[in-house]
Amino acid sequence: MSHPFVANCDDFYVNMRLASQLQLAHSREVVLHFFEQIQKAFPGMSRFRKQDNGEMMLEEDRSENCYRWASLESKRIHSGHVNPSSIDDAMKLHSTLLKMAPHHLGMSSIEIDYLDVLFGFDMEYKGNHDEIIAEGLLADSPLTCLLEENGSKAIDFQPSVTVSLSEDLRLQGRIDIITRTNSYQVRTGEYGDDVISVHFVLRRFWGDRPKQPLEDIAAELAVKAEQFCLTYVAPRVLRPIHEAIASRS
């Protein structure tokens, strides 16, 4: 992989989410034609399935290290590329879906609510994830004061912060830390193989309709997201978590 984040995570992915304020077309003919067109563009995406919540997905073989997926929800289109060879390569799927949405799903630019580009980072750690976050990111924070009590243990340290990146507040950046250990695992010391995830989401809201093609806007968001991750997320979030994990191995 040629992306610059490989040193600080075990898996890296670039996701896209397009949200509508209205229900998307979900007839059998529309859905099948939509996914058939995706498969024509990306032949490896051959596994179709429907979730219990109604979400429909088309994906490549998830047992491979690198794979793509796309999903159709009631009001959202969502896609992702795990461990892409480059960020440009990851954006090919997202661009294809954004070009298809108006024609194949009848989505009008007037109904669009927001567009997300997400950079995700997974780190393997078989232990107390919340303890790693407390140590790696919040060691000097007053919020960890309860850990000074004898016998205390971290069980829910999942900070999430959102900031506006434009004067109209319609461009927003968010960092989410996602831990996956539970109280039973902390109590028994029996931990699974779940990962710690860090997500950086760049979201563009609209009060009116987008003035540019959606695929162009997504490409611009990806460039901005990469720069924010290189400048802030990688050195100040990923690296401390990675170092805290390394110190325990």
Whose tokens are 């959606």? That residue is: 214
**pLDDT above 90: percentage of residues in the chain:** 86
Per-residue confidence (pLDDT) for residue 87, from 0 to 100: 93
- 16-to-92, 96, 117, 239 alpha-carbon distances in Å: 11, 11, 5, 24
Nearest-angstrom CA–CA distance, 149 and 237: 26
Within 8 A by CB and 6+ apart from 58, the residues are: 35, 38, 39, 45, 46, 47, 48, 69, 70, 71
Three-state DSSP class for 134?
helix
Class of residue 168 by CB neighbours under 10 A (exposed 0-12, middle 13-18, buried 19+): exposed
Collapse the DSSP code of 90 into the 3-class scheme (helix H, G, I; strand E, B; otherwise coil) and give the result.
helix
- Residue 2's pLDDT is 55
Nearest Cα to 123, choosing from 228, 232, 198? 198
Q: Which residues of the chain have pLDDT under 50?
A: 1
Q: Could you give the 3-state DSSP secondary structure of residue 121?
A: strand
